[in-house]
Chain A
Amino acid sequence: MRVKRTQAVLAAVAAAMALTLSACGGGSIQNAKQPAGSKDCGDLNMAVNPWVGYEANAYVVGYIAQTKLGCTVNYKDLDEQVSWKGFGNGTVDVVIENWGHPELQKKYMASKGGDGTAVDAGLTGNDGVIGWYVPPWMKDKYPDITDWHNLNKYASLFKTPESGDLGTFYDGDPGFVTNDEALVKNLNLNYKVVFTGSETALIEAFRKAEENKTPMIGYFYEPQWFLAEVPLVKVNLPKYTPGCDSDPTKVACDYPPYPLNKVVSKDFADSGSPAYTLVKNFNWNNDDQNLVAKYIAQDQMDPEEAAKKWVDANQDKVNAWLKGTGVTS
């Protein structure tokens, strides 16, 4: 019985499908045309490191490469170590925002004594800043907190069960450059570094601190989309001078400025692909990146849509990047 019914149902479904088939004339799938491109671009393997600002760079460049140069863009969600490793075996062509990473440079860049699979492709125009930050309400209530000399005065505010009698200093993703344990020690601060272990944890903690007006101090950086939502205030550490951070255990100064750059694989740089020219030309400022990052993180746009929105509104910049690719839009 049961099977009979199933059979009947399936037969009916098949019949219905056949009917639809004959009824639906339009909407059939047409092959795409080759987009206007000067040279054959081929594949562009774009690493996507796990933070939103990076996504903004990656998808804007990717979107242009795809629509203007006709590249097949493969976005690969990878973290930095894996991305750099990928230069060697051809699985990654581009890291579009690099925060220093001397240890990776040493391993993969010929100029630093590495195997030469990675090549610098110029600055992105974004200036990276790393430092210690507090939520804005604290700056309003304790205006002198932005001077590191006063941090010990306020240490008791930051006490949590994680740090006992000391103030808690929150650190973020362990992939990011940090000297904080050494800084606390060398500046004789009554703080204990607590490792949140991820950027998400850090952001949620700052968000919560601002919302509930609870004290918090932690590691943060710009450009970062979150600063548009909660404009964290930077604490001034002893001024950075070149070389003051050369011995990681004796650091007692602020982080250096990070002019962010692009890194590509040697093979990609030598390929003559127009995508390489595009990557090399790519240069914008922190506001640009923050805008696209906001589209993605706060407006919850799809990264490709966000990229399209920005590209459509900034044709002049895009045109400058396309110079030398043989394409103009």
Chain B
Amino acid sequence: MTAVVTAPRAARHRPAVVEMVIEHARLWALFLVVVVWVAIWAVTQGQDTLALSASAITDTHRQLQDASNWVEDAASSGSSVWVNAANNFADWINSVFEWLQHIFTVPEFPRPLPQIGWLGTIALAALVTFAVAGWRSLLLVVPSFLAFGFLGYWTDSIDLLLVTGIAVVIAAAVGIPLGLWMGHSKVVTAIVTPVLDFMQTMPSFVYLLPISILFGIGAAAAIIVTLIYATPPVVRITAHGIRTLPAGVMEATASMGQSRRQRLTKVELPLAKRTIIVGINQTMMAALSMATIAAFIDGPGLGQPVLDGLKRGQLGTSFVAGIAIVIMAIMLDRTTTAASVRSEQASRADQAHTALRRGALGAGAIGTLVALYLSHNYVWANEFPSSPDLGTPIRNKVDDFGQWLLTDVSSLTTSIETTFTEKFLNPVQSLIAESPWYVTAAAFALIAVIVGGMRAFLFTVVCLAGIYYLDLWNFAMITLTSVLVATAIVVLLAVVVGVWMGRSRVVDRIIRPFLDAGQTMPPFVFLIPIFILFGPNRFTAMVAGIIYAAPVAIKLVADGIRGVSTETVEAAESSGTNKWQMITKVQLPMSRGSLLLATNQGLLYVLSMVVIGGMAGAGALGFDIVHGFRNSSYVGRGLAAGISVVLLGIMLDRITTYGAERAQRSQDSSGRTAARWRKVLRLSPAPQGLAHG
């Protein structure tokens, strides 16, 4: 048995004994740092914490405010070429969106209904789906569209589809060429990557206001906000696709004397097509996840009823709109996945098959034309029927559920919250946020060096210096505490549930749809129930973060466990390993790569919930950001808080990434695959595709 257990270790360069000593040395060093830190904290607690009142504004904040005002003034005066270009771009997007809206959702006077109603829209969607993804996807797409209507959100759903569609088209138009360029040039990669990191970690609330000032209120601002967050995945994944093209093919075709253009069009694009579609899929999911946030600046679509429910205290309203978003996400995800598979099959279809398909498409097109005609001319085919109404019963059930939580469950859950906060969260927060700032900084720098080496140390020092400079040290540390504790819980959940799923296909099949839904449901929807359960405080904010981050982490671990080679598992079994030993000594160690990736992604996902945490009583940086968005006197401080969040994100990402690289040099191939995906997805806390879980 020992032989089996040591087998993966034997593959390393260093002998196992040396490895263990080093590993333990690292653990001991960490332990020592924490002990010393606690000792210092015990005597210095409360000194030099750099705490700042929630309403205070410092010079740094004022400078940021001035910078922001300057942009704003430039925008209103319209003097700058850039601002004019921005306006023209916004006008162009708005006119495209309005044109589409007049076709599908908004009547144009004197017509009382849009040009094309539900029947035509569904027929059109079905035709497109059939053409790009095959007939099987119709079984998902048509019922999804019907569900939008029956849930009572036909118009909002179509609006959201239009916004997402425009955003994805622009993201692809910009992102794919940029990704291609990055794939070819290390210089471009080095320049663009930090920008992408920034785009993905900067909380959107920080730029909601400037964007709506620059681009005006309306669909354009919503689309641009969406673009900032949703473009990076397609860029990164396209670049990854180009970098990982088979070197042999590239060389062989180069030896034939192709030009650059020929290389691009005849070799690279066809070969990377599937990866690029994965990138588009990711971008689409990220765009959808912005629906609710965009609704804060009047972004059209399903985000608006989610926020309506929130401001009216109606759990059911938010939830039903949330379900529609989940359905849309799953529909788009599965359809683009099917389209990417099809893109390869289709080119290989034999001629008879192709002819049949063309025929079917032709028939479908005729059917669609008929449907469009009906939909344009008849009320019944234009206005979505008001019955059956699925939305109201669900809404009522959910509201009843909320009432039940309030009356029967909330006192129990409140005591859980109190105990956890007092016994666990407060002590940890006291250590991190109430030690003198230089003690905490030194402790993190040391931890970074132990876990991730010199590079992690450098990043940590730079990021902490930045946070110090931004005058929000104490709030940043409070936020950091919540993020770390929440991530610990996410990882724990990921291990428990992930192992369970990884070991049983049945469990996997039952749990996975819930994870998909949890990942795509807008976090705003589950704010009300957790308010009911736990009240407004840091714990509630952590729960929101955990709910949002856990699905990704769980999936990653489950896939890692499943990825352990059957041969290894069989070998372990044949030597009499019991179930517990199998999990702890074989499956978990061998899926270490996935575990580390789950930790990294968990951190970034939790961090991306900081602002929502600020709306849930967590205070600290999240509150500052919301404050800056809601109150023009605090724009500078909000900006400072946003940058602090970015710095925290970069610091945590680099520590875990370099730590992971260290921990798994010469790991098994599953670990390497995970590491590779981490590189691609690094800092992309977008809802990762449901596809490649």
Q: Which chain A residues have a beta carbon within 8 Å of chain B's beta carbons?
A: 2-4, 6-7, 10-11, 13-14, 17-18, 20-21, 24, 27-34, 50-52, 72, 76-82, 85-86, 88-89, 91-92, 103-104, 107, 115, 160-162, 164, 170, 173-175, 181-182, 193-205, 207-208, 211-212, 214, 226, 248, 296-297, 300
Contact = CB atoms under 8 A, between A and B. Distances in A.
Nearest to B618: A197
B185 interface: no
A85 B212 contact: yes
B410 A6 contact: no
A81 B630 contact: yes
A79 B630 contact: yes
B485 to A, nearest CB: 13
Interface in B608-657: 614-619, 622-623, 626-627, 629-634
B111 A31 contact: yes
Contact of B623 (A21, A24, A34, A197): A197
A174 B623 contact: yes
Contacts of A162: 421, 537-538, 617
B615 A197 contact: yes
Contact of A30 (B53, B112, B527, B531): B112
Interface string B309-353: 011111011000000000000000000000000000000000001
A191 to B, nearest CB: 14
A186 B359 CA distance: 81
Contacts of A11: 363, 367
A297 B312 contact: yes
Given A3-B360, A11-B363, A181-B55, A205 B378 contact: no
Nearest to A11: B363
B43 to A, nearest CB: 20
B217 A92 contact: yes
16 contacts: A13-B367, A14-B363, A17-B371, A18-B370, A20-B374, A21-B373, A27-B380, A77-B295, A78-B212, A160-B537, A162-B537, A174-B626, A197-B616, A197-B618, A208-B531, A212-B410
Contact of B296 (A79, A85, A182, A205): A79
Nearest to A168: B537
B72 to A, nearest CB: 8
A193 B627 CA distance: 15
B217 A78 contact: yes
A96 B257 CA distance: 69
Contact of A50 (B307, B374, B411): B307
A6 to B, nearest CB: 5
A199 B309 CA distance: 12
A275 to B, nearest CB: 16
B113 interface: yes
B212 A197 contact: no
Contact of B313 (A92, A107, A160, A203): A203
Contacts of A181: 53-55
B377 interface: yes
Nearest to A14: B367
A200 B528 contact: yes
Nearest to B632: A81
B632 A24 contact: no
A200 B414 contact: no
A199 B312 CA distance: 9
Nearest to A210: B406
B356 A3 contact: yes
Contact of B298 (A20, A30, A77, A174): A77
Contacts, number: 223
Contacts of B53: 181
B378 A27 contact: yes
Given A21-B373, A28-B377, A174-B627, A296 B312 contact: yes
B421 A21 contact: no
B210 to A, nearest CB: 11
A72 B109 contact: yes
A89 B212 CA distance: 11
B395 interface: yes
Given A29-B113, A29-B379, A175-B631, A17 B360 contact: no
Contacts of A248: 55
Contact of B304 (A21, A31, A77, A214): A77
Contacts of A207: 313, 406, 532
Contacts of B109: 32, 72
B363 A7 contact: yes
Interface string B183-217: 00000000000000000000000000100110011
Contacts of B313: 200, 203-204, 207, 226, 297
Contacts of A76: 217, 298
B110 A32 contact: yes
Contact of A32 (B111, B615, B629): B111
The 7 closest A-B pairs by CB, nearest first: A175-B630, A14-B367, A161-B421, A204-B531, A196-B536, A3-B356, A7-B360
Nearest to B539: A161
Contact of B209 (A81, A91, A196): A81
Which of A77, A79, A205 has most chain B Cβ within 10 Å?
A77
A247 B425 CA distance: 36
B213 A85 contact: yes
B426 interface: yes
Which of A20, A50, A196, A205 has most chain B Cβ within 10 Å?
A196
Interface string B535-558: 111110000000000000000000
Nearest to A79: B630
A7 B367 CA distance: 11
Contact of B528 (A160, A164, A193, A204): A204
B111 A208 contact: no
A27 B379 contact: yes
